[in-house]
Amino acid sequence: SQTIHQWPATLVQPVGSPLSLECTVEGTSNPNLYWYRQAAGRGLQLLFYSVGIGQISSEVPQNLSASRPQDRQFILSSKKLLLSDSGFYLCAWSQSGKTQYFGPGTRLLVL
Amino acid sequence: GENVEQHPSTLSVQEGDSAVIKCTYSDSASNYFPWYKQELGKRPQLIIDIRSNVGEKKDQRIAVTLNKTAKHFSLHITETQPEDSAVYFCAASISGNQFYFGTGTSLTVIP
């Protein structure tokens, strides 16, 4: 069966520091991969999605970037965090035409 | 692009009553409509989905209806229980590649 992992689970970072969040999927190949951000009590904001290695689509221009160095690995990065980057970051995967499944999430607090 | 609207944003019902959450979408090409339940601090979990070739789908106390002509779909929960309390998200997708989410409904079931 398929499994999606995210780490770290929680992270506290100072403003201006870099960020790297990792997501990996097991048990499937060539998945579509997604990064979402959820502010406290809010909806899901799509940040990036990828249909293959090295193929990244950005939905919201900001100080975040994403990379997909391997088929089942998706990384979310920032060179300098802002206070507004705080939130719950969710990675998700799907196979074309099928359901999207979410990872356990990373809770990021920027101070 | 697709635009999904969800109503109401908050909903309180007495235990045992029914709850209905409604969503509308804008892109007639959307053909897959999942519903997710998100408990506090957890990841969204798929609870039911429907494809555009079907008008209604049921799974025990949960049902989803789809009106393609009017471009709206609804989640129905019957005989609500306290453990149904959560935030519910609808989504629309074109062939399961990109997913567009509603803004969420916070459901509270009062014992």
pLDDT in tens, chain A (111 residues): 889 999 999 999 999 999 999 999 999 999 999 999 998 878 898 999 999 998 999 887 678 999 999 999 999 999 999 999 999 999 999 987 788 999 999 999 999
The answer on pLDDT for B55 being more than 80 is: yes
The answer on pLDDT for B51 being more than 80 is: yes
What does the pLDDT read at residue A61?
A: 63
In A, what residues contact B, Cβ < 8 A?
32, 34, 42-44, 46, 49, 51, 90, 94-105
The answer on pLDDT for B54 being more than 80 is: yes
The residues in B 9-48 lying below 8 A from A, measured between CB atoms, are 32, 34, 36, 42-46
What does the pLDDT read at residue A12?
A: 97
What does the pLDDT read at residue B1?
A: 80
CB contact under 8 A, B99 and A46: yes
Q: What is the mean pLDDT of chain A?
A: 93
Q: Chain-centre distance of CA B61, in angstroms?
A: 13
- For residue B16, the distance in angstroms to the closest alpha carbon of chain A comes to 26
CB nearest to A94's CB, from B45, B96, B102: B96
